[in-house]
């Protein structure tokens, strides 16, 4: 990432110098030329861009499609960021998000939890990661920048834990339904004389 920034900076500076010093172009047009060359170099060296996100009134299918693009971006950012700690957080977030999206898609889930995750939690997570990457690339040493980096790492870590809780909550209903089904089945087996053991499930602990 840093090498890309350096190369782009050299390209931009070269175009500025060629216009302003060599060709005696006015200052502002030369700056614009240099900036344009810098941005063009960034696009070429990056070799990838965010795929277009669907906007407007979205169906669950479209929301999931957007979320998969955002999660793909998180995976790509893992390769761009220098911090080993943040890289690991992003790997965990990517894997957990993939499981969440598979669960939502498989069960066609559209409720308060899934909507918040798709509409707010995941997009904000992506924005935090992108802002962290920008500041990391600048190698700033001010007190505020160091504080921002520290807070961002902490927030990314908390997001990783929160996403795991979202995944757990999506399975909670299935777990409760399966436990109730096993309890009824066990009682039927016991009544028919096929099972002498009482099946212990979470519901029994509250009785």
**Model confidence band, residue 16 (pLDDT cutoffs 50, 70, 90):** very low
**Model confidence band, residue 7 (pLDDT cutoffs 50, 70, 90):** low
- What local confidence, expressed as pLDDT, does residue 200 receive? 56
In tens, the pLDDT along 157-184 reads 999 999 999 999 888 867 777 787 888 8
Burial 16-25 (b: 16+ CB within 10 A, else e): beebbeeeeb
pTM of the model: 0.64
Phi-psi region of 198 (alpha: psi -120 to 50; beta: other; left: phi over 0): beta
Judge contact between 7 and 45, C-beta under 8 A.
yes
The average pLDDT across 120-129 equals 95
The residue extents of the domains of the chain are 1-47, 51-207
């Amino acid at each position: 990432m840093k090498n890309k920034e350096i190369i782009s900076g050299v390209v931009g500076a070269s175009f500025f110098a060629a216009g302003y010093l060599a060709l005696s172009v006015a200052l502002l047009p030369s700056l614009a030329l240099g900036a344009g060359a810098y941005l063009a170099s960034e696009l070429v060296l990056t070799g990838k861009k965010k795929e277009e996100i669907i906007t407007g009134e979205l169906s669950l299918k479209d929301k999931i499609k957007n979320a998969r693009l955002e999660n793909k971006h998180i995976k790509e950012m893992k390769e761009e960021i220098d911090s080993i700690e943040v890289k690991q957080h992003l790997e965990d977030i990517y894997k957990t998000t993939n499981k969440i999206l598979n669960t939502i898609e498989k069960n066609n889930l559209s409720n308060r939890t899934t909507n918040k995750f798709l509409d707010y939690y995941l997009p904000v997570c992506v924005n935090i990661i992108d802002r962290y990457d920008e500041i990391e690339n600048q190698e700033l040493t001010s007190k505020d920048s160091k504080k921002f980096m520290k807070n961002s790492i902490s927030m990314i870590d908390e997001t990783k834990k929160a996403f795991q809780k979202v995944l757990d909550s999506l399975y909670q209903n299935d777990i409760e339904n399966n436990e109730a089904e096993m309890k009824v089945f066990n009682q039927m087996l016991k009544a028919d004389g096929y099972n002498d053991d009482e099946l212990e499930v979470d519901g029994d602990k509250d009785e």
